[in-house]
Amino acid sequence: MSPTLHISDSRAAGIGRAQRLASDHLLSLQKAEGFWCGLLTADTTLEADFILLQLWMHPPRDGAWNPPTRRLIDKAVESILHRQLPGGGFNICVKGPADVSATVKAYFAVKVAGLPVDDPRMVRARECIRSLGGIQAANSYVKINLSLFGLYPRERVPSVPPEIVLLGNFLYQMSSWTRAIVVALALVHAHNPKRPVPEGFDLSELFLDGAPLGLCRSPDLFTWRNFFLTADRFAKFWEKHGPQSIRRRAIRAAERWMIERFQDSDGLGAIYPPMMYAIMALDVLGYSPDHPLRAEALRQFENLIVDDGRRGVCGETFFFQPCFSPIWDTAIAAYALGEAGRAPDLRAAADWLLSKEIRRKGDWAVKRPHTEPSGWAFEFNNPFNPDIDDTAMVMLALRHARASDPEAQRDCQRRALDWLLAMQSKDGGWAAFDADNNWQFLSHVPFADHNAMLDPTCPDITGRVLEALCAHGLDRGHPAVRRGVDYLIRTQQPDGSWYGRWGVAYIYGACFALRGLRAAGEDDREAHILRGGEWLRSIQNADGGWGEDTRSYNHEVFTAAPSTPSQTAWAVLGLLAGGDTTSQSVRRGIDHLLATQCPDGTWDEELATGTGFPMVFYLNYHLYRLYFPLLALAAFQNVRDASHLDRL
């Protein structure tokens, strides 16, 4: 029996009022079709790469851009400079330190757009870059992009040969997002472009004397790093002297692979980087600007622009979203509303979610060829890449949301359940898009320094999948559930936390690991559950909330930050899942959410709490600050109701 949960009448009334306000506001944001889609914002690298793409497609003539391009570039420049740090650099998350790659991209973009090098903002940015190691310290993708314009030595950047697509299933040992980037970029590099820049333009002032231009070999002779650096030298030799018949065959195969994945998709991979490279690839392949494929690729890319008066977290009004998040937002919103007692309001959401089930085989089927297709993507349309995490979240939402056709919903849920079971990896965990995508040695490939070459299993997704499986009838007696529980016990950190791959960071991992273990029937008196709860209580902020800095990924241990509503909600949810329903930590967490709720029912959240690529790319999900606090309040309310108290 749960411990008696005594809360004051005033707190109980506050919780009820806060839930109503948050639920009403969330429902007011639902689209007529039944879905939710909040803004998804990131850093200045997106706007900087947009200017690079304009230079590729519409280079200035006689020193002047054409007027439509000039207007867009001016908006992008303003958006970039709006986020410059006082020290001159640019960061990859709000309130984060200057990042050399982001700062090099921004400097290039505003310089090529025409900002004078003696402008104080340029001077500060240049000094910042040099203090961080110069342009040589930027990551490989920055250097690759600049090499396309002769601004970085081509022989010093990693090769991305199209022959990769001819190596059997080797391509599918890379993460789904990496293979989309690599195929499109390989097509660009195979044509060895050197696009023009304005006369006299270069970035020589960013090069640091004495710093190496290329990647350095490991001092140990036999390492994967040295192996791949040797392979890179061979690839460069092959580009010049290899049989052209094989190169042509590789280009044709890569082109087919890319174009096939345009079908029924919101662009290649439905995310910004491969969508941009796909436009460039179509260009070098000879597709004219008015060709339907190229025109559609450009249209999908430009759909990511926000230029309608809405604001990003830093106040800018022109910016790019890295992609759209409708399935994710709809699933979490529907689940939170269902937990808050608003299930009757969710029929349209259920109908829409059922309409988005993926019924064709995608890249995942290379390793699971005999599994019936199902699942959901993250975006509106990305049929080659259903997302395990999204699918689990949709399954949780469908616990509450009832579609107009109950039989169709039952069939859909059966297929999705089978698909989730099939996507379990050998280690017992679940990853984002693929199974057994864990060839760690590939992390040493020269172009793998975006920290996302692989898609290994992780505790946050594994916990959510366990929660979804158990919500649909499975229990600890099922082998997949047992293996998932064992995986979570095995991957707990020494301090009691869990690593969170897709949210910042250990709070996120602990929350969903504990929820998965709870759903699977793990006894809350077990040592790993107790240690998880104790860790969450130990990191609570003085104001009663919780916060975590993105630098947790750099330090490989929890790094404190000011409280945020989403991270406070995750901590409360984790504690409740671990059986802590009565501690002062839980009550103070709830009180923090009540005290910080805005009059319109939402919460303010400036810091990034979503993770794209750890240490490289972070995300602000603009609905996290609404539906996760609602879910935490609802969970607390439901625990209270389950205790059958007459007096609150």
pLDDT tens by residue, 338-367: 999 999 999 999 999 999 999 999 999 999
Q: Cα(521)–Cα(289) distance, rounded to whole angstroms?
A: 57
The DSSP output letter for 304 is T
Same-fold call for 9-41+322-642 versus 45-206+228-320: yes
Residue 80 contacts residue 47 (beta carbons within 8 Å): yes
Strand 305-306 vs strand 40-41: parallel, antiparallel, or unpaired?
A: unpaired
Find tokens 């890449």 and name the residue.
385
389 catalytic? Reply is yes
Q: Cα(154)–Cα(146) distance, rounded to whole angstroms?
A: 9
Class of domain 9-41+322-642: mainly alpha
The one-letter amino acid at 639: V
Tokens of 126: 């240049």
User: H or E segment at 619?
Assistant: strand 617-621
Task: Split the chain (648 residues) into runs of 10 and give each run's mean pLDDT.
Answer: 55 92 98 98 98 96 91 97 98 97 98 97 98 97 96 95 95 96 96 90 96 84 87 91 95 98 97 98 97 98 94 90 98 98 97 98 97 98 98 98 98 98 98 96 85 93 98 96 98 98 98 98 97 98 98 97 98 98 96 97 97 96 98 95 54
Domain ranges of the chain: 9-41+322-642, 45-206+228-320
pLDDT tens by residue, 359-403: 999 999 999 999 999 999 999 999 999 999 999 999 999 999 999
Q: Which of 43, 232, 387, 389 is catalytic?
A: 389
Residue 13 contacts residue 19 (beta carbons within 8 Å): no
Residue 309 contacts residue 317 (beta carbons within 8 Å): yes
Q: Cα(10)–Cα(151) distance, rounded to whole angstroms?
A: 64
CATH architecture of 45-206+228-320: Alpha/alpha barrel (1.50)
